[in-house]
Structure 1
């Protein structure tokens, strides 16, 4: 089983990069170090020039992999959603009961992130923080509709669709499965952001976790709309 997990590869839309960063040690260093740097200084202050200095490589070498830092952020977000998707599928594949399956799915989507040793060049804990703090910057742009057509958000949309299908399995008559699914996934990011920065605006904390909140929200909503 361990060897199987180590052979898993997160597949990203090839329009997001010029050269696949998974194809070389330099590419993996670019991805790994960019996560550390963006987490440290923020996306606005992050530049390829600073990243090149950090990894001891020319700035031009980074541009051979990514057209700009916006594409890099989209790549990192896509990798994160793909990583969550593989965990979701793996954890729920053999669960026949619809309620138990949805409960497990919510746990996967909302739990605190831990390091995954199957991907040694990625710090998933810091990547999760980047997605919480920076993900909206990847789609709140004038180009979002074209980028959506180009498939930049396909992994995220597929993840929402998987959750939506599980919700419908619990209550086939519920009219808003996609809305509830996206609320759980996006809402998780927002709740963790509030915990870190605006604690008075959320009832979630280390004791009352986002996981418990979204389980309560989902099952109360579904059970009261049958």
Structure 2
């Protein structure tokens, strides 16, 4: 599985960027250092000027890749969900039992992220922190419907559709597959957020992880 993943390219909708950052050393440094900087100072305080200083390049060079920091956040979110999707496809491919396949999928989309050495310019645990704390800012905007029509969120929606197919495979007459799938994906991020910032209002702590919660929830619902 690891060998197969190593030859797969993470693809992001090309309308999100002006120039694919994966095609140059500068582009990869933009992605690498933007993850570090957004994690350090937050998306609100993040600017291309600050990023330019961090990578030792002109602010204008960053605009050759992304027209705005919003588009950069869309890129990071799309890259993350595509990376998760690859793991989900590969790690569940050989599982024949539908319920076990769904449980494995839930584990993949809700677990705490570790470093993936195949992408040396991307710190996946830091990117995951950004997804938990900042990714909702990529779609809670006035332009969300336009951007949705442009296909900016196609990877995110495709991942939810994959989860929905696994849910329906377990219980074909279940009417709320998409709602449950999107709840798992977004709910997991929210539970990780609560664990870090509002631990008094979540049961996900110590050994009780969001993965345990969502597997319990889904197996009870789909009985």
Deviation track 1:12-54 (CA, whole Å, cap 9, x = no partner) reads 1100000000000100000010000000000000000000000
> 1:118 offset after TM fit, Å?
1.0
Distance in 2, Cα, partners of 1:112 & 1:6: 21
Q: Which residue of 2 aligns with 1:106?
A: 106
Question: Who is 2:46 aligned against?
Answer: 46
Query: 1:132-171 deviations in whole A, cap 9, x for unaligned?
Result: 0001100000000000000000000000000000000000
1:116 aligns with: 116
How has the CA–CA distance of structure 1 residues 93 and 2 changed in structure 2, closer, same or farther, with 3 Å as cutoff?
Answer: closer
CA distance in 2, matches of 1:181, 1:18: 32
Pairing 1:68–2:35 present? no
- Structure 1 counterpart of 2:191: 191
Q: Which consecutive residues of structure 2, in runs of 5 or more, have no partner in the other structure?
A: none
- SS of residue paired to 2:222: helix
Instruction: Map residues 85-104 of structure 1 onto 2, 5 A cutoff.
Output: 85-104=85-104
Q: Normalising to structure 1: TM-score of the pair?
A: 0.97
User: 5+ unaligned residues in a row in structure 1: which ranges?
Assistant: none
Whether contact under 8 Å (2:84, 2:109) holds in the other structure is: yes
* 1:157 match: 157
The residue number in structure 2 matching 1:142 is 142
Give the conservation status (yes or no) of the 8 Å contact 2:38–2:130: yes
Q: RMSD between aligned alpha carbons?
A: 0.8
Aligned match of 2:177? 177
- The corresponding residue for 1:27 is 27
Q: Which residue of 2 aligns with 1:207?
A: 207
Question: How many residues align structurally?
Answer: 223
Distance 1:2 1:207, change over 3 A: closer
Whole-angstrom CA distance in 2 between matches of 1:77 and 1:213:
24
In the alignment, the residues of structure 1 paired with residue 62 and residue 203 of structure 2 have an alpha-carbon distance, to the nearest angstrom, of 42
